[in-house]
A and B are shown apart, each in its own frame.
Chain A
């Protein structure tokens, strides 16, 4: 298609190409590329508000001596390490169960499990905050069936507050991931499963040896998406746990810390930009790592 580059037709073709892509590219340049470079520059500045001066690596050194940052980093990594695998596995199991055409009511089950995706992050966080209140429906149910003796302090205890955030995110996003797997499963030849079944391969082995390897590209894709999402966690933590970061910052995330640094405390743009670049680097590293691991296993 690139052959008609020379002469009048080629020029006409090329000018039109640029005209079509120009609006989107200039908006992305102005509101994505320019700000991301600006915050890189900002991360080498220090000062309050708009009064900034060059500070070299002072902000990066400050990171390692800032217990609140280290806490936010640990929390963010905890969410990522614990929540993403649980959710992906759950979504995979649900998808392979609901892919079975002999399962009656699978349309209903799919819709039901997908339904959380229509809620806004704020709305479901608010709902969960009410459900997990000290005497709320969750604690009273758990007590009624005898699983716990006294109410769990979901919102006020560091460990339980973190657990609650993980439960909430899993509720919201499992169905979303499941939809990707269901779509990918439809492209797998059903006869593979039939042959395996006839050969006496048990269900669990069919799952680990057929489903997971065949779905690897989609699993990789959803893992990257979830990673980027988890590392940017903000809405849920801000609305779910008390004190905008939970009991003694137990649920504080990097995004929330950046927000606090910029808009709640004395604005410290340079340092906040440095923290934001920690997320940039983490996203890039983890995405690269996931692609690398997936490629390794392919051999």
Chain B
């Protein structure tokens, strides 16, 4: 008697979830198909593989100094990631292992900075970078992003699981505090580092507003800025734009598929 109702609900569930999954994936399919079509066909909504892939790729590589642009993006993202992880893990470890009332107060004050919107920082930061003569440099892009309250928070939360017996044993063996951190904490916490790496790398690779303000010459621009300017041309060549978006999305897509567990763990870092 209950079967028709159950069948109907199953159809409804699968229909809804399937539709959502389809809508989520569709733009990716459209992007890949788009790269094989001419700009006019893309704008006309053609949804089949075309023959313009080679032409689009060739046009992309003539219009864009691709090796330089990707080098810029990689440089900014890797610098930001390595420095953020180093500074934040030191702080997360410090806050958790060496507790004091004053540091606890500062930690809480630091968490408040999570609410500061970037829009309220960009003008002073821009003036600061101008005064320091850093406009149009990658240092200016990376520098303000290294101190991240969120990543410090993430490391501190994860450090709770770090066995303090390890630290005590190392102290008995005569290791200095920095040696304990470097030789014991870092290797033990590598999955935390992996998850944090993914968050910071993605954010840095995809960062847009701040680089848009600071990077003004074509020699320093990152892939995100290049795609944006390709697409905002009066008559954008969508075939070329599609090639660009594919190339810009590939690194983060690869990270996602090869490190899916850490990826999700990183995203969830804050709720435990």
The smallest C-beta distance from B193 to any residue of chain A, in angstroms, reads 15
User: Which residues of B have CB within 8 Å of A80?
Assistant: none
User: Which residues of B have CB within 8 Å of A32?
Assistant: 113, 116, 121, 147, 149
| Interface: A294 (CB within 8 A) | no
Contacting pair B115 A1 (CB below 8 A):
no
Contacting pair A218 B271 (CB below 8 A):
yes
Contacting pair A203 B9 (CB below 8 A):
yes
| Interface: B205 (CB within 8 A) | yes
User: Which residues of B have CB within 8 Å of A23?
Assistant: 87, 90-91, 147
User: Which residues of A have CB within 8 Å of B118?
Assistant: 232, 255
Question: A26, A32, A38, A272 — which one has the most chain B CB atoms within 10 A of its CB?
Answer: A32
Contacting pair B27 A120 (CB below 8 A):
no
Select one of A13, A25, A28, A262 contacting B123, CB under 8 A: A262
The smallest C-beta distance from A225 to any residue of chain B, in angstroms, reads 8
Contacting pair A131 B271 (CB below 8 A):
no
Contacting pair B248 A27 (CB below 8 A):
no
User: Which residues of B have CB within 8 Å of A179?
Assistant: 264, 267-268
Contacting pair A118 B241 (CB below 8 A):
no
| Interface: A194 (CB within 8 A) | no
Question: B9, B20, B118 — which one has the most chain A CB atoms within 10 A of its CB?
Answer: B20
User: Which residues of B have CB within 8 Å of A234?
Assistant: 119, 208-209
User: Which residues of B have CB within 8 Å of A90?
Assistant: 20
Contacting pair A122 B9 (CB below 8 A):
no
| Interface: A265 (CB within 8 A) | no
Whole-angstrom distance between the alpha carbons of A31 and B22 in the complex? 42
| Interface: B23 (CB within 8 A) | yes
What secondary structure prevails in chain B residues at the interface with A?
Answer: helix
Q: Which of A61-69, A157-165, A206-214, A278-286 contacts B (4 or more CB under 8 A)?
A: A278-286
Given the known inter-chain contacts A28-B149, A31-B147, A135-B44, please indicate yes or no for A113 contacting B249, CB distance below 8 A: no
Contacting pair B91 A123 (CB below 8 A):
no
User: Which residues of A have CB within 8 Å of B17?
Assistant: 94, 97-98, 103, 109
- The B-contacting residues of A in range 138-187, CB under 8 angstroms, are 138-141, 171, 174-176, 179-180, 183-184
Contacting pair B147 A27 (CB below 8 A):
yes
Select one of B16, B24, B115 contacting A97, CB under 8 A: B16
User: Which residues of B have CB within 8 Å of A26?
Assistant: 147
- The B-contacting residues of A in range 26-69, CB under 8 angstroms, are 26-36, 38-39, 42, 50
| Interface: B218 (CB within 8 A) | no
Contacting pair A115 B231 (CB below 8 A):
no
The smallest C-beta distance from A281 to any residue of chain B, in angstroms, reads 10
Given the known inter-chain contacts A123-B227, A126-B231, A269-B123, please indicate yes or no for A232 contacting B117, CB distance below 8 A: yes
In the complex, the number of residue pairs spanning A and B with C-beta atoms less than 8 Å apart equals: 266
| Interface: B1 (CB within 8 A) | no
| Interface: B190 (CB within 8 A) | no
- The A-contacting residues of B in range 179-231, CB under 8 angstroms, are 181, 202, 205-206, 208-209, 213, 224, 227-228, 231
User: Which residues of B have CB within 8 Å of A103?
Assistant: 13, 17
Contacting pair A119 B121 (CB below 8 A):
no
- Residues of A near any B CB (own CB < 8 A): 1-2, 5, 13-14, 16-21, 23-36, 38-39, 42, 50, 90, 93-94, 97-98, 103, 108-109, 111-124, 126-131, 133, 135-141, 171, 174-176, 179-180, 183-184, 203, 217-218, 221, 228, 231-232, 234-235, 238-239, 254-255, 258-259, 262-263, 269, 272-273, 276-277, 279-280, 283-284, 287
- Residues of B near any A CB (own CB < 8 A): 9, 13, 16-18, 20-25, 27-28, 30-31, 34, 42-45, 47, 87-88, 90-91, 93-95, 97-101, 103, 106, 110, 113, 115-128, 143-144, 146-149, 152, 177, 181, 202, 205-206, 208-209, 213, 224, 227-228, 231-232, 238, 241-242, 245, 248-249, 252-253, 255-256, 260, 264, 267-268, 270-271
